[in-house]
Homo-oligomer: A and B are copies of this chain.
Amino acid sequence: MPTIGPLKLKAQILLDAVPAMGPGKADLLEAIDRAGSISAAGRDLGMSYRRAWVLVDEMNRCWRERLVETQSGGGAGGGAKLTDQGHRILRAYRSLEAKLAKAAAGDDLEILTALLREDMAPAVERA
């Protein structure tokens, strides 16, 4: 997710309380697109296969069409790729993030950055 100076932004698309898309899921989609499998994508992100599979399952259940399709056989070693819908949703999410980052850069953030200390002041012993 975009970090601009001291600002950290997080955008989530929620379906009820479940994040249908967010920074971690978008990273996972990109990793699947690169690696061609859920297990390899999970490994690339330092995530267990089970965790990666749960995130993919949540995404597939939150959107009208699947975002990731697995090849028949489909076990831990099977291939996986993004559907057209998966690409479309990923693109829209990354574009939204970029617009947020652009909107954040400006005078409010400059004021906040200028007023922030460089290091946190030490805790004061209370009598």
Binding site for B on A (CB under 8 A): 6-16, 18, 20-21, 57, 60-65, 85, 88-89, 92-93, 95-96, 99-100, 102-104, 106, 108-109, 111-112, 115-117, 119-123
Contacts and interface: CB of A to CB of B under 8 A. Distances in A.
What is the total number of copies of this protein in its complex? 2
Q: Is the interface of A mostly helix, strand, loop or mixed?
A: mixed
A110 to B, nearest CB: 9
A111 to B, nearest CB: 4
A117 B13 contact: no
A104 B99 contact: yes
Contacts of A93: 108, 112
A13 B121 CA distance: 16
